[in-house]
Amino acid sequence: MALSEGTKIGPYEVIGLIGQGGMGEVCQARDTKLDRDVALKVLPEAFTSDPDRLARFEREAKVFASLNHPNIGSIYGLEEAEGIRALVLDLVDGPTLADRIKQGLPRSSSSRPGVRYSESVSPWISHAA
């Protein structure tokens, strides 16, 4: 479900779309109670009636909530309104992984694609560790 500007999910009002993929879309939203901007990761409509997908989404929220590190964004909650389910996340400024890939990933000495990809993103992963 593409959320439009002004859509409300609990106390969060959608400002605009940040990105989308196979697991849903991420929107920038305004927390109207605490006057701050957040990111909403919205589960696709097709998944909201699938118990396995819902369980996976809730597990993701719990795992994310268990992380506590200055280089990892926080989760603020899990919202549900009118059949829409969303994770409420810290809104982090900066380029996306897709932007980083477009800029060109560092070259690898390996001929295996998986190894090259792992080597190219490892600096970002280690930054988050």
CATH number for the domain harbouring residue 14: 3.30.200.20
pLDDT of residue 100: 76
- Specify if 81 maps to a domain: yes
pLDDT score at 109: 55
- Helix (H) or strand (E) segment spanning residue 61: helix 51-66
- With residues binned 3-state (H G I as helix, E B as strand, rest as coil), the percentages for the chain, rounded to 5, are 35, 30, 35
Range of the domain at 68: 8-90
Whether residue 53 sits in one domain with residue 25: yes
Q: Are residues 31 and 72 in the same domain?
A: yes
Domain membership of residue 23 (yes or no) is yes
Q: Are residues 54 and 22 in the same domain?
A: yes
- At residue 32, the pLDDT reads 96
CA dihedral 67, 124, 25, 12 (to 10 degrees): 50
CA distances from 19 to 16, 25, 96, 111 (A): 9, 6, 9, 31
45: left (phi over 0), alpha (psi -120 to 50) or beta: alpha
Q: Which residue has the tokens 């280690």?
A: 126
Average pLDDT over residues 58-87: 87
- Per-residue pLDDT for 33 more than 70? yes
Is pLDDT of 92 > 90?
no
Mean pLDDT of 86-93: 91
Residue 71 has pLDDT above 80, yes or no: no
pLDDT of residue 125: 52
Q: What is the pTM of this model?
A: 0.72
